[in-house]
Amino acid sequence: MNELIPIEQTMLWGVMIVAFISLIYAFWLWKATIAKDKGTQKMQDVWLAIKAGAEGYLRKQLRTIALVVVALTAIIFLSVYVIPPSEEAVDRFGKNALVIIAIGRTLAFILGASFSTIVGQLGMRVAIEGNIRVAAEAVREDYNGALTVAYRAGTFTGMLVDGLGLLGGTAIFMIFGRAAPDALLGFGFGGTLVALFMRIGGGIYTKAADVGADLVGKVEEGLPEDDPRNAGVIADLVGDNVGDCAGMAADIFESYEVTIVSTLILGLILLHLTGDTFWIIYPLVVRAIGVISSIIGTLTVPIWEKFPIKFLRAKDAEEAMFRSYEVSSINTVFWAFLFALIYAGEWKLALLNAVGVGLAVIFNPLSSYFTSYKKKPVKEIVESMKTGTATTVLSGLAVGLESSVWSVLVICVALASSYLLYQGQDAIYALYGVAMVGIGMLSHTGNNVAMDSFGPIADNANGIGEMAGVGEKAWKIMAELDAVGNTTKAITKQIAIASAVIAATSLFFSYVTDIGNMQARLGVEITTSIRISTLDTVIGFLIGGALPFLFSSYSIKAVARGANLVVEEVRRQFRIPGVLEGKVTPDYAKVVSITTAASQKELLSLTVLSVATPLLVGILFNVEALGAFLAGVILSGQLLAVFMAISGGALDNAKKYVEDGHLGGKGSPAHRAGIEGDTIGDPLKDTAGPALNPMIKVVNLISLLAAPVIVKYQGTLGSWIIAGILLVMTIWAIRKSSTPMEHHEIEAYAEA
């Protein structure tokens, strides 16, 4: 950009270097992981079955994603011919602006989709390489060694997210300058779309397998969690990888990049208004500071157990990970303040970053309070388990409902900080401040993703150990790491949901400013805010509020249908002579095929529902109604996602509390109630709740992309034709998600 002075151009190149440092660190983590021993042959046999199932699932999912991405690539390219490039693009590229922006937006879309796919695919593969090695370290009775391998394998994914997210956003800005928003929206949409696929498919897969395996193995037959006689256990372990590793990685990646996209869009508006370039340079540099902080923090995890100063030593893996997060947080906040004061002369930016960092930290005790068996909410669920499944489930749902309110209030306090700091100034400053909170909140994505991936890695290691029959000391190490992983997963789910809301809110503000700019260019009445005071906006708000409920309904239905099929198959195999006695090995691959088929069925329909509905609302009514629709989606999506995540997590930990020997322990009536409560909570916390995160952002991004077209062509014959096509697509998606998959379809898919 011509406006940038040499030192600022150097800063941008420094950000690019940090992105590559993150990728180099990720490469080192991968090499350090695979250098470890893989244990006994029996352990490796179990591991290879998990690996084959997970990689097979991702290959099938990749084919589905590729078809959609190819189709949308053509639409993204042609979109620039429907609505011309921005004035900034014309100023920068002259008469070639149309072609350059068309190509740039398309390549950015492909880049975003590719990066999101790489993060999910490679992250899951390294996690799988890690789980067997964690089990091997536990067999050697090396607790710190097992912790280190699990955390480093998870950190690989986190640093991949950091590196690729920072690289993509910064590179696009350096190439396009003030015209960057024309391409950045394509980058964000590509990443978000793939994340939606991975979250939906992975979530349905993992819980269909888990619920089905538990209902037959644990409830009906009284078998342990990962008993090798249960035909569903390999599919369950595979599901942990495709859901919590691949799905969460892609989810956090698109939040990471979307906050960059929205910040640069708002920052460029402030650059235009004030002439100050720090509005766009500062957030990129702070993200780079966060990457370095994550590297420093994640490297410290193994040292806390043997720290020289006794009172600073960590008691367990959970405390070691929290300490590393605190190290990263302190480092980022300090350097952000120093950089803001020296470079921008604006302390408010650093304070908002600190609020974002603090917001992520606050969710640690908040999530722990509602999901830990040491705290009052889960203790109440445990008491309810004495009287049966119904009271157990009711208590769990009540905990989730309450937690969603407190989560919203915490987010409101964070958003209010921007409002208070910029009170009395132009509204765009406060909107930019919200984006700064998002930049701060996801500064330590490397730590967040590491903590999340740690969970399924430890879970898989525990499963491998149980199926391979390792010794009691090794099993205790893996069981403890597994328990810690459950806590860290619950925390990172909360952070993912909150970051989705912050990112979506930033996109919503970008939407409002974008349609205002477009209306000014076309000479029509300018919309500077969205008011819920007309019939069309009320309708948009109501439909937006309803969409997350419909989306969640179909996600949970898909899990129930898949679990039904798994239950039938596991029961059938238990009737085979010798399976239940442990003399005949079950056909694990058959259950893997069933769950793969069940999850793939819903991918297209739920994605179509997320893309078509906002466009239909915008065309049938107007951009103001679409804005109200987005507000409804953000509000109900946040409340519903937290409710489901916490309900499921609380029910899961209440069950584990009984399994530790309380209320009669395993096999008791209370344990049975806990298992059944957990099977209800599982699709809430691992399927429907997490899938709402990318859905909220897909809806916002598609609205941002479509807003200029809606403004220009509202009420024309072409718009009504498109509305008809979208209506047909929506009806198809609803019918597709409402229709169960027939047995012959499952069989055909499994054979394929």
Q: How far apart are CA 142 and CA 146, in angstroms?
A: 6
- Asked if residue 1 is part of any domain, the answer here is no
Q: What is the pLDDT of residue 142?
A: 82
pLDDT tens for 538-553 read: 999 999 999 999 999 9
- Asked if residue 560 is part of any domain, the answer here is yes
- Asked if residue 702 is part of any domain, the answer here is yes
Cβ-based neighbours of 2, under 8 Å, separated by 6 or more? 177
Q: What is the pLDDT of residue 567?
A: 87
Q: How far apart are CA 211 and CA 214, in angstroms?
A: 5
CA angle at residue 682 from 470 to 392, to 5 degrees? 100
Q: What is the pLDDT of residue 490?
A: 74
CA angle at residue 377 from 372 to 383, to 5 degrees? 105
Domain extent at residue 368? 6-751
pLDDT tens for 266-302 read: 888 888 888 888 888 999 999 999 999 999 998 888 8
Provide the total of helices (H) and of strands (E) in the chain, helices listed first: 24, 0
Cβ-based neighbours of 444, under 8 Å, separated by 6 or more? 290, 293, 294, 297, 325, 328, 329, 332, 357, 360
pLDDT tens for 705-732 read: 787 778 777 778 878 888 898 889 889 8
User: Collapsing DSSP states into helix, strand and coil, what is residue 208?
Assistant: helix
pLDDT tens for 216-257 read: 887 788 777 777 888 888 888 887 777 777 777 777 787 788
Most confident of 89-98, 328-337, 409-418, 431-440: 328-337
pTM, rounded to two decimals: 0.85
pLDDT tens for 492-528 read: 777 777 777 887 777 777 777 766 655 555 555 545 5
Asked if the model's pLDDT at residue 400 lies above 60, the reply is yes
- Higher-pLDDT residue of 352 and 72 is 352
| Count of the separate structural domains present in the chain | 1
- Asked if residue 722 is part of any domain, the answer here is yes
Please give, one letter per residue, the 3-state secondary structure of 585-652. CCCHHHHHHHHHHHHHHCHHHHHHHHHHHHHHHHHHCCHHHHHHHHHHHHHHHHHHHHHHHHHHHHHH
pLDDT tens for 181-213 read: 778 878 888 888 888 888 888 888 888 888 888
Q: What is the pLDDT of residue 526?
A: 47
